[in-house]
Amino acid sequence: MKRPPEIQINQFQLALLLKDEQKKFFEMVIADNVFCSQCGGSTKEGITINEMFLTDLNDILVKGTCNTCNGKVARMMEFGEDKDFYNKAMDFRNSIRN
Ligand SMILES: [Zn+2]
């Protein structure tokens, strides 16, 4: 099966894709479960999101900066393993195709 391309998404589009419990999970990860190599561990004060992507596997990739040291961080969230999310993501891709 051909994989769809990685596309950039915004906060509004992310909100449409995630169910309530997935939103909570997302917020929780952003708040204190992103690894920062400069801090040498999980970010203590969370991160500021700069960019978000829907990957070729329909996972969410977040790129941002650590609120403690300002270092660059990235975190993959494997929502694509959730079949509902995967299907929703494919519908979303179709809806923005043109
Ligand atoms: Zn840091």
Q: Which two tokens stand for residue 28?
A: 């929780």
Cβ atoms of 37 and 52 closer than 8 Å: no
Phi first, then psi, for residue 14 (nearest 5°) are -60, -45
Distance 85 CA to ligand 1 centre (A): 30
Distance 88 CA to ligand 1 centre (A): 33
Per-residue pLDDT of the chain (98 residues; tens, 9 = 90+): 678 999 999 999 999 999 999 999 999 999 999 999 999 999 999 999 999 999 999 999 999 999 999 999 999 999 999 999 999 999 999 999 75
pTM confidence score = 0.92
Distance 67 CA to ligand 1 centre (A): 7
Distance 32 CA to ligand 1 centre (A): 11
Q: Which sign, positive or negative, has the C-alpha torsion 7, 9, 15, 20?
A: positive
Parse the chain into domains and list their residue ranges: 7-95
| Residue 73 zone, left/alpha/beta (φ > 0; ψ -120 to 50; rest) | beta
